[in-house]
Amino acid sequence: MTAPSTLDPSPAVTDPAGGHRVTTGIFQPKQLVAALPGALRKLNPRHQARNPVMFVVFVGSITSTVLAILSPSLFGWLVVLWLWFTVVFANLAESVAEGRGKAQAATLRQAKRDTVARRLNPDRTETLVSGNDLVIGDRVVVEAGQTVPGDGDIVEGIATVDESAITGESAPVVRESGGDRCAVTGGTTVLSDRIVVEITTKPGESFVDRMIALVEGAARQKTPNEIALNILLASLTIIFLLVVVAVGPMAAYGGEQQDPIRLIALLVCLIPTTIGALLSAIGIAGMDRLVQRNVLAMSGRAVEAAGDIDVLLMDKTGTITFGNRRATALHPVPGVMAMELAAAARLSSLADETPEGRSIVTLCGTDFQLPPELSTDERRAQFVPFTAQTRMSGLDLDGRQIRKGAGTSVLAWTVERGGTAPVELTRLVTEVSQRGATPLVVTAAENNCKAAILGVIELSDVVKPHIAARFADLRAMGIRTVMVTGDNPVTAKSIAAQAGVDDFLAEATPEDKLALIRREQEGGRLVAMTGDGTNDAPALAQADVGVAMNTGTSAAKEAGNMVDLDSDPTKLIEIVEIGKQLLITRGALTTFSLANDLAKYFAILPAMFSGIYPQLDSLNIMPLATPASAILSAVIFNALVIVVLIPLALKGVRYTPTTAARLLQRNLALYGVGGVLVPFVGIWLIDLVVRLIPGIG
């Protein structure tokens, strides 16, 4: 199965300088045509009533249609036509936004076809049941080539699993019982081996089900900020309704009854139709942008909260550093040749299959040209594995013992065998630690006596390139980053300084993490974190935005309010940006919509009132040809601006991480000042065409 075609394979552009911005999905005009049937279906009054602003337009359109039928005129019918266009264009925006999710839902549905599950009975026999009949706690057997019937945790075995149906990633992943990689998702396929899965969710509530509901927008509920904005828009609509109703008697006092169609046209132009029409599309598109980056938000509330995050908790390993510590330098004690230390270090690590051990061999190969493989002679060696008691590893070869490990253990071992601690050793160990690296001390003895310390291997965490620039961006956005690590405070401090995080939590236990989140929240801050292990679950649940890695346990995925299918911990930064982008898009279109009204007044008021007071024609500054063409042009502008702004609503306003003051300056200039000026030009241009219509111009 391939990835859904609408998934954007390159979610973010990162240039070498570290600057970046959220990119957006592609919008094609043909999506408008495809969405048209859906838009027409939305003309149902019950659907319209959900949006107070557009409901007023809807009622206005119906009323003016009736009025046009009762006293037909070309002007009347043209206004009616464009009023209906306004309603349809608003529906169109929503349909297009929903349509983009539907393609993804269709792909997901294929993964959800009913599967036959092999339910394991207590007596170890199997019963074939439908996947839909499974209940929580059932154990099922899945073998190579079979589809996992539901979400659950592996309780027996290990297998490679193809998760491309969910993640779009075709490389198989390993899942095994125990540990933090035990979760499997219904709809994925086992490629090798046999596993026993304990079902953890009910059919119909599985991960795929929730994903389908999310991308289709069926589960979409208005988010708190969206509701608040709707209330503001509704009250503005009420004010303008009163304004237009009052214009009736006020104009009548001047001696002329106003044509009701003109009043409806004025009303529709004044109420914030632009933002009203695009508001739900913006919300749907925001969720969609997350899905494009392979992040599933379990609620829109979480997306909004992401924009408000004050503190970002980042695991050091895998997020800030590449994860595995690597040998980066050898430091012999005085009197020992570097080559001698390298030879010992290599020997002690040849049988050490840990990433650290292999990196020592690699370093000895690159810096000292020592072979990475065991020679024939060396095969006689006795290897001493690392244990938690000895905290050392090494080998015995031809009466020579070589050990490497933690400073205190190695020192004790050396002293027991007649060696001494070189004065320089303490200094070397301290220096290495202060650099944020881990010191491994190497020692050697002849027949368990005459032991002597050779030197120190420096193992460092390598901080990812460009990560410091990302944190600088976050700081500009007002977000504090806290690095969470199990390292000791000295190491943690050094890495924190290299990566440019604001704070760190060293020797962190899951309880410490939870306590830190609570402490920040008590100070009124919103906290985001990523996690994958079961022991992360409480912290994920406590955090305002908890992003669980898809590779993580079911418990972690259940506790978080987002799941990252790519399991990329740096994704959190993008999620924050998407949250902000969502709010900015709403704000920008609201500002634009309100600022537009000024020009519409200058178009419509002289047209309506110059019959009563000819002097008011001096307000016709654009200047528009006739009263009919002026009103019609304003109505047409009002409708067309919705269509023109659909791509902006779907893609979101461009967001560059910076301070709030800068953002405000830029967006006010663009959408506030621009919102005042654009309609003057737009209405004037439309009027140039409209005036050509016989009987209007």
Which residue's CB is nearer to other proteins, number 565 or number 683? 683
Strands 326-332 and 139-143: unpaired
Which residue's CB is nearer to other proteins, number 459 or number 624? 624
Q: From the list 75, 85, 609, 637, which residue makes contact with other proteins (rule: CB under 8 A)?
A: 609
Instruction: Count the residues of the shown chain that bind other proteins, applying the rule CB under 8 A.
Output: 76
Q: From the list 249, 355, 465, 695, which residue makes contact with other proteins (rule: CB under 8 A)?
A: 249
* Gap between the Cα atoms of 652 and 237, Å rounded: 25
315 catalytic residue (yes or no)? yes
- Strand, helix or coil for residue 256: coil
Which residue's CB is nearer to other proteins, number 81 or number 243? 243
Per CB under 8 A, 643 contacts other proteins: no
Which residue's CB is nearer to other proteins, number 179 or number 248? 248
Per CB under 8 A, 383 contacts other proteins: no
Per CB under 8 A, 616 contacts other proteins: yes
Options 47-55, 102-110, 351-359, 662-670: segment touching other proteins (CB under 8 A): 662-670
Per-residue binding string, other proteins, 33-62, x by CB under 8 A, is ------------------------------
What is the closest distance, in whole angstroms, from the C-beta atom of residue 224 to other proteins in the complex?
A: 6
* Gap between the Cα atoms of 415 and 417, Å rounded: 5
Among positions 306-325, residues that touch other proteins (CB under 8 A) are 307-308, 310
What sign does the dihedral 174-177-178-184 (CA atoms) show?
Answer: positive
Which residue's CB is nearer to other proteins, number 223 or number 629? 223
Options 56-64, 161-169, 433-441, 608-616: segment touching other proteins (CB under 8 A): 608-616
Instruction: Identify the residue whose tokens are 């401090």.
Output: 493
Q: What is the DSSP string of 139-172?
A: EEEEETTPBP-S-EEEEE-EEEEE-HHHH---S-
- Strand, helix or coil for residue 599: helix
Per CB under 8 A, 23 contacts other proteins: no
Per CB under 8 A, 426 contacts other proteins: no
Which residue's CB is nearer to other proteins, number 455 or number 587? 587
Options 31-39, 133-141, 372-380, 653-661: segment touching other proteins (CB under 8 A): 653-661
Per CB under 8 A, 621 contacts other proteins: no
Among positions 524-563, residues that touch other proteins (CB under 8 A) are 524-525
Among positions 175-204, residues that touch other proteins (CB under 8 A) are none
Per CB under 8 A, 373 contacts other proteins: no
Among positions 577-606, residues that touch other proteins (CB under 8 A) are 579-581, 583-584, 586-588, 590-591, 594-595, 597-598, 601, 605
DSSP element (H, E) containing 191 = none
Q: From the list 87, 120, 251, 643, which residue makes contact with other proteins (rule: CB under 8 A)?
A: 251
DSSP element (H, E) containing 524 = none
Question: 471-504 as b/e, with b when 16 or more CB fall inside 10 Å?
Answer: bebbbebebbbbbbbebeeebbbbbbebbbbeeb
Among positions 199-228, residues that touch other proteins (CB under 8 A) are 224-225, 227-228
**Side chain identity, residue 492:** A
Q: What is the DSSP string of 649-681?
A: HHH--------HHHHHHHHIIIIIIHHHHHHHH
Q: From the list 69, 116, 135, 660, which residue makes contact with other proteins (rule: CB under 8 A)?
A: 660
What is the closest distance, in whole angstroms, from the C-beta atom of residue 248 to other proteins in the complex?
A: 7
What is the closest distance, in whole angstroms, from the C-beta atom of residue 559 to other proteins in the complex?
A: 23
Residue 150 CA, chain-centre distance (Å), reads 25
185 contacts 81 by C-beta, under 8 angstroms = no
Q: From the list 135, 239, 337, 681, which residue makes contact with other proteins (rule: CB under 8 A)?
A: 239
- Strand, helix or coil for residue 656: coil
Residue 170 CA, chain-centre distance (Å), reads 21
**Active-site residue identified among 315, 473, 487, 532:** 315
What tokens does 18 get? 């570290």
Q: What is the DSSP string of 572-634?
A: HHHHHHHHHHHHHHHHHHHHHHHHHHHHHHHHHHHHHHTTT-GGGGGG--S--S-HHHHHHHH
Q: Report the chain's C-alpha Rg in angstroms.
A: 34
CA trace torsion 447, 453, 459, 460 (10° rounding): 170
Among positions 469-488, residues that touch other proteins (CB under 8 A) are 475-480
Backbone angles phi, psi at 482, to 5 degrees: -120, 125
Q: From the list 672, 677, 684, 693, which residue makes contact with other proteins (rule: CB under 8 A)?
A: 672
What is the closest distance, in whole angstroms, from the C-beta atom of residue 14 to other proteins in the complex?
A: 20
Pick from 293, 308, 214: which is nearest to 583 by CA? 308
Per CB under 8 A, 232 contacts other proteins: yes
Q: From the list 40, 174, 238, 692, which residue makes contact with other proteins (rule: CB under 8 A)?
A: 238
Which residue's CB is nearer to other proteins, number 7 or number 247? 247
- Strand, helix or coil for residue 196: strand
What is the closest distance, in whole angstroms, from the C-beta atom of residue 91 to other proteins in the complex?
A: 24
Q: From the list 665, 681, 692, 695, which residue makes contact with other proteins (rule: CB under 8 A)?
A: 665
421 contacts 408 by C-beta, under 8 angstroms = no
* Gap between the Cα atoms of 331 and 333, Å rounded: 7
Which residue's CB is nearer to other proteins, number 308 or number 424? 308
Pick from 34, 5, 53: which is nearest to 95 by CA? 34
Which residue's CB is nearer to other proteins, number 101 or number 675? 675
**Side chain identity, residue 311:** V
Per CB under 8 A, 246 contacts other proteins: yes
- Strand, helix or coil for residue 186: coil
Among positions 278-307, residues that touch other proteins (CB under 8 A) are 304-305, 307
Pick from 589, 639, 637, 642: which is nearest to 86 by CA? 639
Identify the DSSP state of 39: H
Among positions 495-524, residues that touch other proteins (CB under 8 A) are 523-524
What is the closest distance, in whole angstroms, from the C-beta atom of residue 525 to other proteins in the complex?
A: 7
Q: From the list 72, 254, 372, 695, which residue makes contact with other proteins (rule: CB under 8 A)?
A: 254
What is the closest distance, in whole angstroms, from the C-beta atom of residue 120 to other proteins in the complex?
A: 48
Options 99-107, 176-184, 244-252, 403-411: segment touching other proteins (CB under 8 A): 244-252
DSSP element (H, E) containing 247 = helix 224-253
Strands 326-332 and 382-384: unpaired
405 contacts 421 by C-beta, under 8 angstroms = no
Backbone angles phi, psi at 201, to 5 degrees: -130, 155
- List active site positions: 315
